[in-house]
Amino acid sequence: MIKMKVFSFVTLFFFISTVQAQTPTSWKHVSLGSSHTCALSTSNELYCWGNNYSGQLGVGLSDVHRVTRPSMVSLSEDTKQLSLAGTHSCALSIQGNIACWGDNMRYLLGPGSYRRFAPRPLPAQTPAMSLSMGSSHACLVKDNNTAQCWGDNFFGQLGTGRTRRELTPTNVVEPSPLSDIQVGENFTCLQTQSGQVKCWGNNYFGQLGIGFPTNQSKDNQSYMLPQLVELGRVSSEIATGEHFACSLLDNKQVKCWGNNQSGQLGIGSQTNKAQPTSLTFSENVQKLALGKQHACAILQNGTLQCWGDNQYGQLGIGSRDSQTTPTTVALGQSAKQISLGDKHTCALLADDSLKCWGDNIQGQLGLGHRVLKTTPQSIN
């Protein structure tokens, strides 16, 4: 028995060491979960790192609870999009198929085991164009520009007009053709092809953007069907955090709404807003990303600015002081893509390099150690 344990340890050490030696330096897409990270290299190879207790790294190892360097994941089809949330991960292939791995306690990844240590196809799924995973529910946009959601539905967050939990993708009640759908914690938002934004589900913090009931500072009602968010302009991009959401408008300005206890709305205060409220940037915005209680935007010149909760250095500004307005992150070059987890952040840069920062207790920064970092660190 002792010999077998020693052999297993040596085998795992050799596996991880081999993967570390193959870490790429050129990347094209990154996505973050609660405390793990996955990224796609420019050679279409998928790597994951960080917390692996539920198998969310997809490396097929149940005895390794964390990996602090990028580890290769085997997929049968080339990946178009990654979507991580909580303690599970999914990959959408170019062909429109979805494979998932990690925590399956809520059967969000399909019937069967509570943990999946390697990618498996999502059952009963039709070809998809985009995917948004949440911790307890998920949604996709089909190739006919309609949406389907599945998972927990206590607050009506699936948009099916009822509160029954769904184990397979189920049609959202929305007649307009869609361009995107994004999942928050117990709420969901979509964007139509005409640029309208609609949200539904839990509205306790005003995260649906439809206002509070008269003379109320919270909303105990749930909304089972999509509700129109009055933005005043056409939306070109939507993003959702835990209990807040933002829209990038056609004039390259941003409006946010919902929970603001950590300043994550970026409006200079910590007051919740139940209707869209404008942020101020030094120039136009080209991309948005939201985390649990922090947010980031890439400006037109490639500058990255972040705001909100910063207890773990997830804003990347060299301190752990939270910020209520957009604050510039020193990356050394322009950012192309950003992804935010619960307490860490990663940015894909102009030269295809990848930098991450923030909480690192599970090795989710991919640096080979577990030390928190308050400034961007290169993954190589």
Q: What is the pLDDT of residues 84-141, one digit of tens each?
A: 999 999 999 999 999 999 999 999 999 989 999 999 999 888 899 999 999 999 999 9
Which tens digits make up the pLDDT trace of 347-379? 999 999 999 999 999 999 999 999 999 999 999
Identify the structural domains of the chain with CATH numbers, from first to last: 1-92+105-122 (no CATH), 93-104+123-378 (2.130.10.30)
Structure tokens at 320: 């752990």
Residues 128, 144: Cα–Cα separation, whole Å = 9
- Provide the pLDDT confidence category of residue 380 given band limits of 50, 70 and 90: confident
Burial, 357: exposed, middle or buried (Cβ in 10 Å; 0-12, 13-18, 19+)? buried
Structure tokens at 173: 């009640």
- Say whether pLDDT at 17 is over 60: no
One DSSP character per residue, 82-118 reads EEEETTEEEEEETTS-EEEEEE-TT-TT-SS-SEEEE
* Range 174-180 average pLDDT: 98
What is the reported pLDDT for 19?
A: 45
Which tens digits make up the pLDDT trace of 287-341? 999 999 999 999 999 999 999 999 999 999 999 999 999 999 999 999 999 999 9
- How long, in residues, is the chain? 380
Contact 362, 66 (CB under 8 A): yes
Q: How far is CA 96 from the centre of its chain?
A: 19
Contact 149, 141 (CB under 8 A): no
Angle at 110 between CA 105 and CA 111, to 5 degrees: 75
Q: How far is CA 280 from the centre of its chain?
A: 24
- Provide the pLDDT confidence category of residue 164 given band limits of 50, 70 and 90: very high
What is the reported pLDDT for 10?
A: 34
Mean pLDDT of the chain, nearest integer: 94
With CA atoms as reference, report the closest residue to 209 among 175, 243, 173.
243
User: What is the rounded end-to-end Cα distance, in angstroms, of the chain?
Assistant: 37
- Provide the pLDDT confidence category of residue 22 given band limits of 50, 70 and 90: confident
What is the reported pLDDT for 4?
A: 39
Q: What are phi and psi of 9, to 5 degrees?
A: -65, -45
Q: Helix, strand, or coil here: 366? A: coil
- Provide the pLDDT confidence category of residue 23 given band limits of 50, 70 and 90: confident
What is the reported pLDDT for 242?
A: 98
Residues 297, 132: Cα–Cα separation, whole Å = 19
Contact 88, 124 (CB under 8 A): no
Q: Which residues fall within 8 angstroms of residue 61, CB to CB, at 6 or more apart?
A: 12, 15, 52, 117
* Range 216-245 average pLDDT: 97
What is the reported pLDDT for 59?
A: 95
What is the reported pLDDT for 56?
A: 98
